[in-house]
Structure 1
Amino acid sequence: MKHLSKLGLALLLLGFACACKQADYVADEANASVVSADSTSVISSNAAVEPKNSNRKFVRTADIKFKVKDVAKSTYAIENSIAKHGGFVTFTDLKSNINQKSETKISQDSILETIQYTVDNTITFRVPNTQLDTVLKSMVKEINFLDSRLIKADDVSLQLLSNKLAQKRIKNSQSRLEKGIDTKGKKLNDITTAEDKALDKATESDATILNNLSLEDQVNFSTVTMYLYQRETTKQEVIANEKSVNEYRPNIGLQIWDSLKTGWFILEGIIAFVMQLWSVFLIGFVGFLVYKKFLKK
């Protein structure tokens, strides 16, 4: 009976432990789902969603900064997602920034090089306005820590309408001016001034058309600027120890021998220089003899 009681107690404890473990696993799964949902809601926004059945036109822009585990891998994943949803990258600047570098001599011919660096990337891309929210949500799995997220939706409906009305007015004014030039001809007091005005109207009309096309392009394709970075990384590498100049200096005996040779060369040079002055000495000697024999008497 005692053995049966101990066995039953052991089975009860085992079952209790399994139940706790299962409960912890379910809780972890639930927490992971909550974290994922929170990340999705944080990076996404109603400003990134294209409203249905609306005549309003929005220019959407987004600026996002977040930390990732590996900048290079996250960059490739983000670029693939952008291309998948019909977007394109206009700027990317992936680089490693060295924060600290040191060298430690570990043997006579080896040095341990230690580099501490951070990797970051600035990406600017454009995606169709209908795919902006989808693209942003697809990047949730790359985010390790979200620093900031700014999404703007500027309503440019009235600006587009204003440009179209201005374009219409300019076109009508240009037509009337050209018609006046064609019908009146030489009766115009200053035909050159009229032509210049017509050219100004045409230029103004072109500028309005280009402005509208630019706005429509910004409406159709949203612009996103993204800054990715990762934790500081340390890289260590053993490299060859290049000998210093001092290690190639000759020994003291060789230096003394070289000094003696150099001194002898200097002496040879002095003797050779003095020998070049033999004519001066000869003239001086002859002069001395003349002075002693004639001038002294």
Structure 2
Amino acid sequence: MNKNFKTGSAILLLTLAIACNKKSESNTSAMDLAVVDSSAVANDMSSSAAVEDQNSKRKFIRTADARFKVKDVAQSTYKIENVTKSCGGFVTLSELRSSVTENDETQISQDSLLKTTRYEVNNTMSLRVPNVKLDTLLRSLAKEVQFLDYRVIKADDVNLQLLANELSQKRNATTSKRLETAIDKKGNKLKEINESEENLASKREKSDASLITNLSLKDQVNFSTVTLELYQNEQLKYELVANEKNVNAYRPNLGIQIWESLKTGWFALETILAFLVQLWPFFLLGFLSWMGWKKFKSTSNVIVNK
């Protein structure tokens, strides 16, 4: 018997050891899978187009658009705003919305309803971050992503456009100087001076437009624009409300209705009696008139009989 007991114990211990080993391997595999998934999301959010080459003389306007699912839109919004600030950027738009998709009411008692609301929460964000921090920001966003719908990163080379605007500014500046010199030499020729002044103003306006365009392009080069659309699973909200539609549920029973009717009838009788009491002068006048008429009639009968 002891031999059988020892053999059974050994088999049991061996089985437990194999099961623990498999469980450990399963947990390790799950952890490795989670790391791979997280790394894959980070790689999906990142891109070489989002990295600035310090040695390159080209100027790129980098933009990023992404739509992804998060666990909680509000919490992810706060985290993204903080990450943007830590990267030296700022938020230009954060449009957090809740959209009701369905309303349902279930009667749970005569005077109560359970109102069920299905709604979706999403947020559209627009961020501006330094060009050199764009890839850092995108990698930080990967922590919030549960499912990535799409990610679009664009890098537009505007080096030639900047150069064209600078050349246009120089040409307009040179022309403006020549026009100013010509205007000074015209003396009192008012008509020619007016035409030259108008031409000079037009050249300066074009020069200013080129300058403003260049400043705008440089701002877009220095600060990338990131547009994000966040969403989460559909949410449910339960609320207990009064059943205003079922008016009959609030009606009293028959006994109470009869008692209330008796009281109402008694109050009506009291009102009538009080009103009649108010007419006592008329009753008194009528009574005196009746007594006088009766006395007058008795006197008339006595005279006639005589």
Q: SS of the residue aligned with 2:66?
A: strand
Stretches of structure 1 lacking an aligned partner (at least 5 in a row): 255-297
Pick aligned residue for 1:56 from 58, 67, 82:
58
Counterpart of 1:228, as a letter, is: L
- Structure 2 match to 1:262: none
Pick aligned residue for 1:88 from 75, 87, 90:
90
Whole-angstrom distance in 1 between the partners of 2:101 and 2:5: 66
- Count of residue pairs brought into register by the alignment: 255
- Give the drift of 1:245: 6.9
Contact kept? 2:99, 2:120, Cα under 8 Å: yes
Moved more, 7-16 or 111-120: 7-16
Query: 5 Å matches for 1:123-138?
Result: 123-138=125-140
Q: TM-score, normalised by structure 1?
A: 0.80
- Give the drift of 1:104: 1.9
- 1:36-59 residue CA offsets vs partner (Å, 9 max, x unmatched): 111011111111111121111000
Counterpart of 2:241, as a letter, is: I
Pick aligned residue for 2:188 from 186, 189, 199:
186
- Structure 1 match to 2:225: 223
Whole-angstrom distance in 1 between the partners of 2:236 and 2:68: 21
- Give the drift of 1:228: 0.7
Whole-angstrom distance in 1 between the partners of 2:238 and 2:19: 45
- Give the drift of 1:2: 3.3
- Structure 2 match to 1:196: 198
Whole-angstrom distance in 2 between the partners of 1:105 and 1:39: 46
Q: SS of the residue aligned with 2:186?
A: helix
Pick aligned residue for 1:29 from 28, 31, 49:
31
Whole-angstrom distance in 2 between the partners of 1:237 and 1:105: 12
Whole-angstrom distance in 2 between the partners of 1:244 and 1:200: 76
Whole-angstrom distance in 1 between the partners of 2:111 and 2:96: 35
- Structure 2 match to 1:171: 173
- Structure 2 match to 1:46: 48
Root-mean-square deviation (CA), in Å? 2.3
- 1:122-174 residue CA offsets vs partner (Å, 9 max, x unmatched): 00111100111101110111111111111100000111111111111110111
- Structure 1 match to 2:281: none
Whole-angstrom distance in 2 between the partners of 1:3 and 1:110: 65
Stretches of structure 2 lacking an aligned partner (at least 5 in a row): 252-256, 262-306
Contact kept? 1:181, 1:188, Cα under 8 Å: no
Q: SS of the residue aligned with 1:120?
A: strand
Q: SS of the residue aligned with 2:244?
A: coil
Contact kept? 1:94, 1:120, Cα under 8 Å: yes
Q: SS of the residue aligned with 2:188?
A: helix
Whole-angstrom distance in 1 between the partners of 2:191 and 2:245: 90
- Give the drift of 1:186: 2.8
- Give the drift of 1:248: 9.0
Whole-angstrom distance in 1 between the partners of 2:6 and 2:101: 67
Whole-angstrom distance in 2 between the partners of 1:13 and 1:151: 54
Contact kept? 1:57, 1:157, Cα under 8 Å: yes
- From the CA coordinates, give the structure whose radius of gyration is larger: 2
Whole-angstrom distance in 2 between the partners of 1:160 and 1:64: 28
Pick aligned residue for 1:212 from 206, 214, 222:
214
Query: 5 Å matches for 1:1-297?
Result: 1-186=3-188, 190-242=192-244
- Give the drift of 1:247: 8.0
Counterpart of 1:221, as a letter, is: F
Moved more, 15-24 or 205-214: 15-24
- Give the drift of 1:244: 6.0
Whole-angstrom distance in 2 between the partners of 1:246 and 1:195: 87
